[in-house]
């Protein structure tokens, strides 16, 4: 648009077309990337989801049998519900941990250096391999793990227990640990943006620290809370490593089912249908959180 407006004052069209070429290159490269590596694969999966399973493989078709199967067979919709439940548990537990932490960093800690150090302590694990971070919990919660060894050592337990590992609890714990940086970051940013004099004004008007937290600070940090909840929920919803490493028989999530449909079961059409349903759920949640965030958006300037 800019180049188009500027063209009359430029001598010839050559410069104009070079500008446009450059601009198209800058804008186009990521677009091409997204189309080739994201939209086309999704499109392929989308077409697969209508194909027909025919032993030993599957054949092109256009029918809704795979989707019908997902909603008819409790095995599939229950795994969707369970995944949603775990995702909700992970986002709530990381909110409950992250909010007080971010609050402490922003409002209570006086030293900027210590604040940065503690903030980085939460963010730094993002640079460690995801697999490693999930695996760590195996060594903490497992039969021979740190907790069990300690409990046996101090005599609380006679022999190691397996209640810590391979269940939904261990999954929520591990996923909370893995995704908590995505909760801390937006909440920290939201809290930092709150002008200090609003907190002073609240106290000046006779409202104590707790009232100020719930009447001023929490409402003004809602965008950060929504962003963090969306991150944690959607990332958990699509996770398949934690269930694989620390989840038990009751910890199977949607992504694991998809993996098995593409693998051992060799039912790509059903796996694709499940992937598409999952995609729709996640996009729906992102859209919902975006709307809520926009409705409550507040001009802090």
Partner 1 sequence: MLPLREGREPATALSNSSLLSSYQAPGHTDMSKIVEIDGVSKIYGGSVVAVDDLTLAIKEGEFVTLLGPSGCGKTTLLRMLAGFESPDRGIIRLAGEDVTSRPPYRRDVNMVFQDYALFPHLSVAKNVAFGLERQRLDRTEIGRRVADALSLVGLADKAERRPHELSGGQRQRVALARAIVRRPKVLLLDEPLSALDANLREAMQVELKHLHEKLGLTFVMVTHDQTEALVMSDRIVLMKDGRIAQMGEPAELYNRPASPYVASFIGTTNLLPVEVRSVADGRAVVALGGRNLELPAPAGLVAGHAALLGIRPEKLRLETDGTVGACQISVAVEEGLFHGNAVRLRCLGEDGSVLLVDLQLSQSSIAVPARGSRLQLSCDPTDLYLFAGDDR
CB of 293 to partner 1, least distance (A): 13
> Radius of gyration of the chain from Cα atoms?
25
| Phi, psi of 54, deg, nearest 5 | -140, 115
Beta carbons of 181 and 123 less than 8 angstroms apart: yes
Task: Name which of 56 and 206 has its Cβ closer to partner 1.
Answer: 206
Of 194 and 278, nearer to partner 1 (C-beta) is 194
**Nearest distance, CB of residue 229 and partner 1, angstroms:** 19
Nearer to partner 1, 134 or 220 (CB): 220
CA torsion sign, 127 to 130 to 131 to 136? positive
DSSP class of residue 9 equals G
DSSP for 57-90, please give it: EEE----SHHHHHHHH-HHHHHHHHHHHHHHHHH
Query: By C-beta, is 158 or 204 nearer to partner 1?
Result: 204
Contact at 8 Å (CB) between 51 and 59? Answer: yes
| CB nearer partner 1, residue 172 or residue 227 | 227
CB of 301 to partner 1, least distance (A): 8
- Strand 57-59 and strand 52-54: the pairing is antiparallel
What are the C-alpha distances in Å from 112 to residues 60, 98, 153, 187, 274?
61, 19, 41, 17, 47
Q: How far is the CB of 107 from partner 1 (least distance, A)?
A: 14
Whose tokens are 């920290």? That residue is 188
Choice between 86 and 199, CB closer to partner 1 = 199
CB of 213 to partner 1, least distance (A): 13
Q: How many CA atoms lie within 13 A of 82 on its CB side?
A: 22
Which residue, 108, 291, 89, is CA-closest to 174?
A: 89
For the bound state, the minimum distance from the C-beta of residue 216 to partner 1, rounded and expressed in Å, comes to: 6
Output 19 or 192, the one with its CB closest to partner 1.
Answer: 192
Query: Would you tell me which residues interact with partner 1 (CB under 8 A)?
Result: 195, 197-198, 200-208, 211, 215-216, 219-220, 296, 298-301
The two structure tokens encoding residue 192: 């930092």
Residue 202 Cβ, how far from partner 1 at the closest point, in Å? 7
């Amino acid at each position: 648009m800019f180049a188009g407006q500027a063209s009359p004052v430029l001598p010839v069209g050559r410069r104009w077309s070079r500008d446009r070429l450059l601009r198209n290159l800058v804008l186009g490269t990521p677009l091409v990337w997204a189309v080739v590596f994201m939209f086309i694969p999704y499109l392929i999966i989308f077409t697969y989801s209508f194909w027909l399973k025919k032993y030993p493989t599957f054949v092109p078709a256009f029918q809704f049998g795979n989707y019908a199967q997902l909603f008819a067979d409790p095995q599939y919709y229950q795994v969707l519900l369970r995944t949603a439940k775990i995702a909700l548990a992970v986002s709530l537990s990381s909110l409950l941990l992250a909010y007080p932490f971010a609050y402490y960093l922003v409002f209570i800690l006086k030293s900027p250096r210590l604040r940065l150090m503690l903030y980085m302590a939460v963010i730094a694990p993002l640079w460690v391999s995801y697999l490693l971070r999930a695996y760590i919990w195996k060594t903490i919660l497992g039969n021979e793990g740190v907790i069990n060894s300690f409990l046996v050592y101090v005599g609380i337990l006679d022999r190691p227990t397996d209640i810590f590992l391979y269940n939904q609890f261990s999954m929520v714990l591990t996923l909370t640990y893995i995704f908590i940086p995505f909760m801390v970051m937006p909440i920290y940013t939201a809290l930092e943006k709150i002008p200090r004099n609003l907190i002073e004004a609240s106290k000046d008007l006779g409202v104590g620290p707790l009232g100020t937290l719930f009447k001023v600070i929490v409402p003004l940090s809602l965008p950060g809370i929504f962003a963090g909840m969306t991150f944690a929920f959607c990332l958990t919803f699509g996770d398949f490593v934690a269930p694989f490493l620390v989840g038990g028989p009751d910890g199977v999530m949607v992504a694991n089912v998809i993996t098995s449909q593409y693998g051992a079961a060799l039912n790509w059409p059903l796996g694709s249908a499940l992937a598409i349903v999952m995609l729709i759920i996640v996009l729906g949640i992102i859209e919902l959180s975006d709307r809520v965030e926009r409705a409550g958006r507040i001009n802090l300037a």
